[in-house]
Amino acid sequence: MAQNFAEQLASFIVQIIMVTPSQCQRWFQEWGNAIKPQLFRTIALLSVCFLFLTTLTSCSPARFRTEAAQVPYIVYASLGDPNSFNPILSEGSPDVLGLVYEGLLRSNGLTGDLEPALAESWDFSPDKQRITFTLKPNLKWSDGDPLTADDVVFTYNKILFNEEIPTDYRDILRIGEKGLLPAVRKIDDLHVEFTVPEPFAPFLRYAGGIFVLPKHALEQSIATRDANGKLKFFQLWGTDTQDLSQIVGNGPYLLESYIPSQQVVLRRNPHYWRRDSQGNPMPYIERFIWKIVESTDTQLLQFRSGGLDFLGVPPDNFSLLKREEKRGKFTIYSGGPELSTTFLVFNLNQAKNAKGEPLVDPVRSRWFNTLEFRQAIAHAIDRPKMVNNVYRGLGKPQNSPIYEQSPYYLDPEKGLKIYDYSPEKAKQLLLKAGFTYNSEGQLRDAQGNRVRFTMMTNAGNKLREAIGAQIKQDLSKIGMQVDFNAIAFNTLLQKVYKSRQWEAYIGKIGGGGVEPNSGANSWLTKGGLHAFNLAAQSGEPPLTGWQVADWEREIEQLYIQGAQELDESKRKQIYAKTQRITQENLPFLYLVNPLDMSAVRDRIQGIKYSALGGALWNLSELKALE
């Protein structure tokens, strides 16, 4: 108990450093109530610690107020550290680099419509296969260098289209059966032309939406190699970069400091292009503090204590926070169903790695690649119970990789297959596939092997851990033994996308908006997010014996056709077919789609919340009051 109390005290003291006096006062009250039995014997120690910290940091209450008034700030939380400050190599989600870089166009967070960003306008050729972008005049990088068409051409031709550099961006830009890429050329300093070899429906959204990168800062790293023959680009702008001013951006903020496991601090980019109607520079908020808080429970505590300005509201915390809205001076916003998919996925990859080792134990691989096995699990997971118990009724069962807000979504009433909760149907499917039950009700395969596998998710996400606990329990009812592990997010990414040695995991994919082709890298057989059967990516050793199922190939072909088709009614038919195939074959077993909810401190003004854009899509317009 003494150790736990010491840890509580240390955590409390660290948090004091980050907050204003009014927030400190609330923390003293709430923390004191939480440990009331020990309050009288610790209050003196707390007072001494607070006075010591105030003196040590020269932060008197008056100075706190003065500095806060002069430097508006936002405090946001992430469950994990960034894994890179290189925007092409970064795999974080959410990603701090979304504040540092932007593309030619941006998407309106309320309507999804495309709006000018670095480009002030764009024009299509009559055949819709050529777009000419006109850049805003006098654009600059964060180091003051001019941003021109040369940077756009460099970004695409030297980085995104460079087969030595693995990136998911390249997957969504591939066009047609041959996977051809657009041609990008400079017309003059302010004009760039993109040309596609055939009609490509999401052409404008993709060409305009990807980050533009600085040629002058990155060109040398693309032209030189290290002693092992690898491009120096791979070593550039890692999280170990000492001088963050070397990281040149074009977005509203630039990196100022990074303390691993604690926080990333960003400050306003003085050369950002945006101005308001009076000519004032935007964004209005000077600093963006990206705190690393590796537990949703701790994030909740910090938000309630005033240490965070934003908090995603999972259903299990909704009632608690709703009661505190007025007293806590925050507002809970809801944007309807999330634009995300939460799923259970099995590793269907039957290949061997460069060492000749099977990626998945052959016995378990045989189970996972049996269709009836996956369908049985879909029937065995009690999703209505998950909605009620895990999501507190604030969600609904999910059946498709395409979001309900999309015009391409196929409703179950129009033919999308669903899997109702039925352990009996699950058992029948397993028996049909040759599995058997022993006298103790344990499931065994035809060779007598006990059905037991490991399922992972990322640690610190309370909601996903609860989902895993329920799935483990649900599957035990049909005789399966599941070993459930919650591991660090970056470790999970390493297992799934690098070593590929995993069995099952619970994950979530969000973003991409309502355009189905945004998810193409999950469905193209060599796509970077084709997690259930991930092929060797650019620069990786080959995989021996990698196989593609007929239904995988068919989904890939349909996604290629859907991107080529400009007739909206025909596009809907194509994507309806993809959804039927995915639900029949279940490469991903979709679980529950929650309501998109966030709590935002009332001192942050100008919020225009939606499920599509969240709370920060109009960040440059927001203002922060003390």
Distance CA 465, CA 457 (A): 7
Closest-CA residue to 587 (of 542, 560, 556): 556
CB atoms within 10 A of CB 177: 12
Architecture of domain 105-220 in this structure: Alpha-Beta Complex (3.90)
Question: Side chain identity at 59, as an amino acid letter?
Answer: C
Asked if residue 445 lies in contact with residue 366, where contact means CB atoms within 8 angstroms, the answer is yes
The DSSP result for 189-225, as a single string, is: TTEEEEE-SS--TTHHHHHHHSPP--HHHHHHHHH-B
What is the distance between the alpha carbons of residues 314 and 599, in angstroms, rounded to a whole number? 10
What is the amino acid identity at position 3?
A: Q
Distance CA 517, CA 23 (A): 45
More confident residue, 36 or 197: 197
DSSP-derived 3-state class of residue 226: coil
H/E stretch holding 599 reads: strand 592-601
What is the reported pLDDT for 23? Answer: 43
Q: How confident is the model at residue 67 (pLDDT cuts 50, 70, 90)?
A: very low
Instruction: For residue 521, give the H/E element and its range.
Output: helix 520-523
Strands (E), 79-129: 105-107, 114-116, 119-124
pLDDT at 445: 97
> Looking at domain 73-99+225-336+599-624, does it have CATH number 3.40.190.10?
yes
Give the residue, 512 or 23, on which the prediction is more confident: 512
Lowest mean pLDDT among 8-12, 70-74, 81-85, 258-262: 8-12
User: What was the pLDDT predicted at 39?
Assistant: 38
Domain residue spans in the chain?
2-70, 73-99+225-336+599-624, 105-220, 340-594
Any idea which of 33-47, 104-118, 365-379, 513-527 has the lowest mean pLDDT? 33-47
Rounded CA separation 295/301 (Å): 10
- Asked whether the beta carbons of 23 and 75 are under 8 A apart, the reply is no
Give me the percent of the chain exceeding a pLDDT of 70. Answer: 88
Q: Which CATH class is domain 340-594?
A: alpha beta
- What confidence score (pLDDT) does residue 561 get? 93
∠ at Cα 142 (136, 146), nearest 5°? 45
Integer-rounded Cα Rg, in Å, for the chain is: 26
